[in-house]
Amino acid sequence: MEVGEDLCFPQLTNTSCRKPESTWTEVVFLQIMLSSISLLTAALNLFVIISVSHFKQLHTPTNTILLSLAVSDFLLGLLLMPAEIIRNTGCWFLDDLMCSLYNSLSFVITSASVGDMVLISVDRYVAICDPLHYPTRVTERKVKIGVCLCWLFSVVYGCLVVKEDFIKPGRHKFCVGECIITVDFIAGTVDLIVSFVIPVTIIIVLYMRVFVVAVSQARAMRSHITALSVTTAAKKSELKAARTLGVLVLVFLLCFCPYYCFSLAGEDAFSSTTIFAVYYLFYLNSCVNPVIYALFYPWFRKTVKLIVTFQILKSGSCESKIL
């Protein structure tokens, strides 16, 4: 076997990166498996996007935040996962500018997802801890503004963090055929605080408060189960929503924390296999979110059935009774 056969670009003998050392069978198996997860992630989140966008009965403040989260998860499955597959299982045949764009998109989508989780926590906090003022404090218009600001901040933030990569694309790579994601110490510290420490602290504090109030409300309802049945039913609905979204937040934290703890410790402290596993654990969260909806939300199962049977194409389908 010639030396050139091991290079990403055989014509660039002195500057080309080497191909991954894995066997052809291992690479193909890994690419098929990860591509399937990527496709599944995009498809499942597309169902969420269509469901919440199409059916008017689902146009609520909480579902607007879930729609935003589904959009970020959809983009992650459609754009980031395929790029990550190329980065880790083969050679980067795209140019340096595309590598910088991928780097920036990863910050944008991650920041948007984190922001959506904070908005979910705030939404449940107000709904459970201040239910009387919830309809006026959390309106669909206010939530839409919050979501738009979240995405605007994420785009600006994603561009600023990697602005040097856009000015000098490929400045960190050692050879032709690789895409390196590198952030300097200051930018990395800022990212750690902005994308991890602050939002995770807010999420945990708010949900701890929600948990305490939810437990006290559940006890109160059990002791006054016959009184004010309408109010009791409303409270039960809010508590159920809090539990469901609590599961969503918990799964997010379980997938999210190892990613940033790993980044904090530094890639040099781990093997390439561990690095790959931690990255995909974070990405896998985007595939799990729609599964959580399917398990806990009857309306999602119903809308998926209407979508796959093309009943949403019928006139007036947007007015269908989903809840």
Q: What is the structure's pLDDT at 218?
A: 67
Nearest to 47 by CA among 274, 233, 261, 303: 303
Q: Are 44 and 291 in contact (CB under 8 A)?
A: yes
176-228: pLDDT as tens digits: 888 887 777 777 788 888 888 899 999 999 988 888 887 777 677 666 554 44
Binned at pLDDT 50, 70 and 90, residue 230 comes out as: very low
Nearest to 286 by CA among 252, 259, 312: 252
Higher pLDDT, 114 or 171: 114
> How many Cα neighbours within 13 Å face the side chain of 139?
5
Predicted TM-score (pTM) of this structure: 0.88
Q: What is the structure's pLDDT at 148?
A: 97
Binned at pLDDT 50, 70 and 90, residue 3 comes out as: very low
Higher pLDDT, 90 or 2: 90
* Three-class SS of 61-93: HHHHHHHHHHHHHHHHHHHHHHHHHHHHHCCCC
Buried b (16+ CB within 10 A) or exposed e, 82-101: bbbbbbbbbbbeeebeebbb
For the chain, the domains span 25-319
In a 3-state reduction of DSSP, which class is residue 305? helix
Mean pLDDT comparison of 44-48, 173-177, 214-218, 279-283, highest-scoring range: 44-48
196-207: pLDDT as tens digits: 889 999 999 998
Binned at pLDDT 50, 70 and 90, residue 1 comes out as: very low
127-156: pLDDT as tens digits: 888 888 999 999 999 999 999 999 999 999
CATH number of 25-319: 1.20.1070.10
For residues 122 and 116, what is the distance between their CA atoms, to the nearest angstrom? 10
Higher pLDDT, 107 or 258: 107
Q: What is the structure's pLDDT at 7?
A: 83
In a 3-state reduction of DSSP, which class is residue 170? coil
Place of tokens 């781990």: 270
